[in-house]
Structure 1
Amino acid sequence: MIEPFSLPLASSLDTAAGAITDREGFLLRTRDGLGEATPLPDWTESREACRDALETADAALPDWRAALDACEGRPAARHAVSLAHLDAASRVEQEPLYQFLGENSRVESVPVNATVGDSSVEETVHAARDAAAAGFDCVKVKVGARNVEDDVERLRAVRDAIGRDVELRADANAAWSADEANYAFDALDGIVSYVEQPLARDDLDGHAALREHDVGVALDETLTEHGVREVLAAEAADAVVLKPMALGGVDRARDAATTAREAGVVAVVTTTVDAVVARTAAVHLAASLPGVPACGLATAGLLDADLAPDPAPVESGEITVPQDPGNLPVEVRP
């Protein structure tokens, strides 16, 4: 069964790629599992293409292989199908999803970063200082919507405000030119640990060249263009930022994380501001990766409403990992 939903954000999330004001998607209910497809323009297929793929997949069930095949090239739709399958299978095994994915020990929580959107220096500093006071050990600041000199000023002001004990990351959403990125990487040495997606998603050589600086390069959008193996072969990243919804499922995101970590590249799990079903699955994914760094999972507060109560609250920079069998221990009503 396919159920559409629409969730407003608590406030517009401004990024270099534009403002996000709401999240629309679909739930896929199977006999024993629940999946979520929440497409995002420029990241996944369109909402219409997603629904078409889900309808084909739903008609193919309970043949999971045929259902997954029906969603090839439609990452959000495939995410829903693969998650419903994993949810059902982990319930059969009476394991929380993260243990079903491969983590044998009990994991109570996962570190998460706070995300600060584009705003003035004063507003950015205020938000970052509040995050640090709330116990976050890592803050990510959105950049790229204004000129690079202003963004450098914002990040330097944040570093001064939160001190040296809090990790600071920047996310440019592919907004910078090579010249802007080189300027920023020089200016931000000692200020940020890494810059996420500084250049266009297809620019592997440019990202590889940026690694000559002391600031790290983290790739996000590029993974939907090239895939993790091409990124590793090009030596284009110090870290990869994995969004299960954009990569086609928790299973594929975990494979990408394992591949990256084996190559000595950091794997960070985040979301595309998803609803509770997909967001909780991303928490399980992070929990299945021993020693995972701060991940971008503290996004429930960005939504003004959700599909069910949040089973993975954030406290002092840590997100709780549900321990019930399957993905979600709470009922999601139609």
Structure 2
Amino acid sequence: MTRIERRAFSLVLDSSLSTATGEIDRREGIALRVGESPPGVGEATPLPGWTESLEACRSALSDVSNPRSALSILADRPAARHGLSLALADRAARRADVPLYRHLGGGRRVERLAVNATVGDGSAKETVEAAERAVSAGFETIKCKVGARSIGEDLERVRALRDAVGSDVALRLDANGAWDRREADRALSALAGLDVEYVEQPLPADDIGGHRAITDGSVPIALDESLAGRSPEDITLLADAADVLVLKPMALGGPDRVVALGRRIRDRGLDVVVTTTIDAVIARTGAIHAAAALDVKRACGLATADLLTDDLGSDPASVRDGTITVPQTPGLGTDGPWGGRDA
């Protein structure tokens, strides 16, 4: 029988995170260590609105005795499946003496990935100041939150932001589904001349028809929340409702699923980015390997370590000049709370 160790954890966020079900101020989950000689580590950190509840995740993992066979029965428990699949992939990559992204099918050596900086909702002055700090730190892609204010106020913020950072910095906006179709039409028309890379989730998650209607090429559209709770097959069918899909390994059931889905999406003519769900170091590093396996060229939402006040272990992925390190040691590259690889 395969040995499985489970450790519950709770990590405080530096500031509250807005989700579809409200504000959260900590991330709670289960770290896993699976097998021996060598073991692999994984992380299951549910996020309300995206995955099963913490209670359902904990229950699903407590029932597992054979991790590999359990993967097939955890389709409706994406965080639990993520933890198991990541641990098994980490173990397999260590056995093969390759970095995890190569085990996941990465075809070439990838040492660093572009990452974006995120600017929250604030006044035009606050938005510009935050973006200028990010650009000074080397970030070449800025993601700005919109939708909490009026369309007019947001347009003022975006115009000020574009003027401040210039044309060499990519600018993407995230509305988190805040607009209706009329508001989205107005916003996209006004944004057409501001060289916006894409607007993420302009309409509510379930309004796929609306996204199809506004995907006319004037401003590219990305879908994020609309992917939650959908099967990989259903997600593939969204090709006519967006230009970019935002893939979250924790919400989709593991890095293996993200890599397979990302390739399928690209075959349909869409592009992808990979982001975390504000995870601890194990899952965060797994997302980095998934993005490296896909060799994603767009900036990804992976530079999220500083959103936590503490972590599960040492972080092998430093952020420098708008890029993040892809670990090259065998396996995942972090031991999480165990701090060592002894079985």
One-letter code of the match for 1:250?
Answer: P
Provide the rounded CA distance (Å) in 2 between the counterparts of 1:71 and 1:155.
42
Alpha-carbon deviations, 1:44-90, whole Å to 9, x = none?
11110110111112xx22x512x213422011111001101101111
Of residues 83, 103, 106, the one that matches 1:103 is: 106
- Equivalent position SS for 2:30: strand
| Counterpart residue type for residue 208 of structure 1 | R
Q: Which runs of no fewer than 5 residues in structure 1 stay unpaired?
A: none
C-alpha distance 79-101 of structure 1, shift in aligned 2 (>3 A)? same
Structure 1 residues 15 and 131: CA distance shift in structure 2, 3 A: farther
Deviation at 1:18, TM superposition (A): 4.2
Which segment is superposed worse, 324-333 or 33-42? 324-333
Q: 1:222 to 1:83 in 2, by over 3 A?
A: same
Tell me the distance in 1 between the aligned counterparts of 2:21 and 2:200.
13
Number of the residue aligned with 2:291: 286
Alpha-carbon distance in structure 2 between the residues aligned to 1:121 and 1:14: 20
**Range moving further from structure 2, 79-88 or 151-160:** 151-160
For residue 324 of structure 2, the aligned residue among 319, 324, 329 is 319
How much does 1:332 deviate?
2.6
What corresponds to 2:248 in structure 1?
Answer: 243
Which of 304, 307, 310 is 2:309 aligned to?
304
C-alpha separation in 2, matches of 1:326 and 1:244? 17
Structure 1 segment 36-55 matched on structure 2, within 5 A: 36-55=43-62
What residue number does 1:272 align with?
A: 277
Task: Quote the Cα distance in structure 2 between the aligned partners of 1:292 and 1:146.
Answer: 31
Measured after TM superposition, the shift of residue 151 of structure 1 is 1.6
Separation in 2 of the partners of 1:53 and 1:225?
A: 17
- Residue matched to 2:200: 196
1:124-143 residue pairs with structure 2 within 5 A?
124-143=127-146
Q: 1:230 to 1:72 in 2, by over 3 A?
A: closer
Counterparts of 2:236 and 2:81, CA distance in 1: 24
Question: Deviation per CA, 1:120-148, whole angstroms, max 9, x where unpaired?
Answer: 22211111111111111101011222222
> Does the 8 Å contact 2:245/2:273 carry over to 1?
yes
Q: Following the alignment from structure 1 to structure 2, what is the Cα–Cα distance between the partners of residues 207 and 296? A: 22
Q: Which residue of 1 aligns with 2:74?
A: 71
Distance in structure 2 (CA, Å) of the matches to 1:263 and 1:209 = 19
Q: 1:248 to 1:291 in 2, by over 3 A?
A: closer
CA RMSD of aligned residues (A): 1.7
Q: How many residues align?
A: 330
CA contact (8 A) 1:83 1:249 kept: yes
Show the counterpart of 2:122.
119
C-alpha contact 1:44 1:76 (8 A) present in aligned 2: yes
Relative to 1, partners in 2 of residues 1:223 and 1:14: Cα closer, same or farther, differing over 3 Å?
Answer: closer
Task: State how far apart, in whole Å, the 2-side matches of 1:16 and 1:148 are.
Answer: 21
Is 76-85 or 208-217 further displaced after alignment?
208-217
Aligned to 1:147: 150
* Structure 1 runs (4+) greater than 6 angstroms displaced: none
Maintained 8 Å contact 2:110/2:295? no
Counterpart residue number, 2:27: 23
Q: In 1, distance between residues paired with 2:100 and 2:235?
A: 28
- In 2: Cα distance, 1:15 partner to 1:36 partner: 20
Provide the residue aligned with 1:214 in structure 2: 218
| Mapped pair 1:7 → 2:14 | no
1:331 & 1:8 partners in 2: Cα distance?
16
Matched with 1:183 is 186
Q: After superposition, what is the alpha-carbon deviation per residue over 1:14-71, rounded to whole angstroms, capped at 9, x for unaligned?
A: 57864342111111121211110111111111110110111112xx22x512x21342
Query: 2: CA distance between counterparts of 1:281 and 1:53?
Result: 21
Contact between 1:15 and 1:117, CA under 8 Å: does it hold in 2? no
d(CA) in 2 for partners of 1:225 and 1:38? 16
**Counterpart selection for 1:89 from 83, 87, 92:** 92
Return closer, same or farther for 1:158/1:19 CA change in 2, 3 Å cut-off: farther
Q: Distance in 2 between matches of 1:329 and 1:6?
A: 18
Cross-structure match for 1:257: 262
Identity of aligned residues (%): 53
Deviates more, 1:118-127 or 1:91-100: 118-127
Deviation at 1:292, TM superposition (A): 2.5
User: Any stretches of 5+ residues in structure 2 without a counterpart?
Assistant: none
TM-score w.r.t. structure 1 length? 0.94
Distance 1:158 1:274 in 2: 28
Compared CA separation, residues 275 and 209, structure 1 to 2 (3 A): same
1:43 partner letter? W
